[in-house]
């Protein structure tokens, strides 16, 4: 049997934790499975800070954002470790921590397609009337992916 490759977009919410719990309960007993956690982050720009109080303050804000990006990667490693503690082997779980180059939907679809993932496990955030008008990430991913299984955890 071919290895089942599972992609789990992860954004550090309680809904993402539900998706991790689902993956742990549903796929841990399978030996030919690989789980990849994915987080797409917005890169922090670099600037040349001249001797200006305004630029110095701006640089401090960018340094703060850079620290947050590092903390998110550590959080993604913790999510990976959570799956390992729940029965997956170290070799079965990996993560992708990528800078954003296009919209989130495009990034997820490209990775799922290019890296031949069989299954994408996403969450659905309930509520918010604005999603009725703008559409949600999971519904756009579902409509864009072909020949993939998409599990929505709510």
Helix/strand number for the chain, H first, E second: 5, 5
- Could you count the other beta carbons within 10 Å of the beta carbon of residue 59? 16
Q: Which residue has the higher pLDDT, 1 or 115?
A: 115
* Rounded-to-integer distance, Cα 84 and Cα 104, Å: 26
DSSP strand pairing (119-123 vs 33-41): unpaired
pTM: 0.81
**Residue 130: its pLDDT value, please?**
41
**Residue 52: its pLDDT value, please?**
66
* Rounded-to-integer distance, Cα 34 and Cα 25, Å: 14
- Could you count the other beta carbons within 10 Å of the beta carbon of residue 67? 11
| Residue 13 clears pLDDT 70, i.e. is over it | yes
What DSSP designation does 116 have? Answer: T
Ordered structural domains, the chain, with CATH: 4-153 (3.40.50.620)
* Rounded-to-integer distance, Cα 139 and Cα 98, Å: 22
45, 56, 57, 59, 100 from 48: Cα distances, Å: 10, 10, 12, 9, 22
**pLDDT tens for each residue of 80-138:** 999 999 999 999 999 999 998 988 888 998 999 999 999 999 887 665 544 444 457 77
46, 67, 98, 128, 129 from 7: Cα distances, Å: 31, 26, 14, 26, 28
């Amino acid at each position: 049997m071919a290895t089942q490759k599972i992609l789990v977009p992860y954004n550090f919410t309680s809904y993402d934790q539900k998706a991790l719990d689902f993956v742990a309960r549903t796929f841990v007993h399978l030996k030919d499975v690989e789980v990849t956690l994915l987080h797409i982050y917005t890169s922090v720009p670099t600037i040349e800070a001249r001797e200006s109080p305004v630029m110095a303050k701006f640089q401090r804000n960018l340094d703060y954002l850079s620290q947050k990006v590092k903390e998110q990667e550590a959080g993604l490693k913790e999510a990976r470790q959570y799956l390992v503690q729940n029965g997956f082997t170290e070799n079965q779980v990996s993560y992708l921590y990528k800078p954003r180059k296009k919209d989130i939907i495009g990034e997820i679809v490209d990775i799922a397609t290019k890296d031949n993932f069989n299954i994408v496990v996403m969450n659905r955030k309930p509520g918010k009337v604005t999603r009725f008008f703008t559409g949600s990430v999971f519904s756009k991913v579902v409509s864009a992916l072909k020949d993939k299984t998409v599990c929505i955890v709510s």
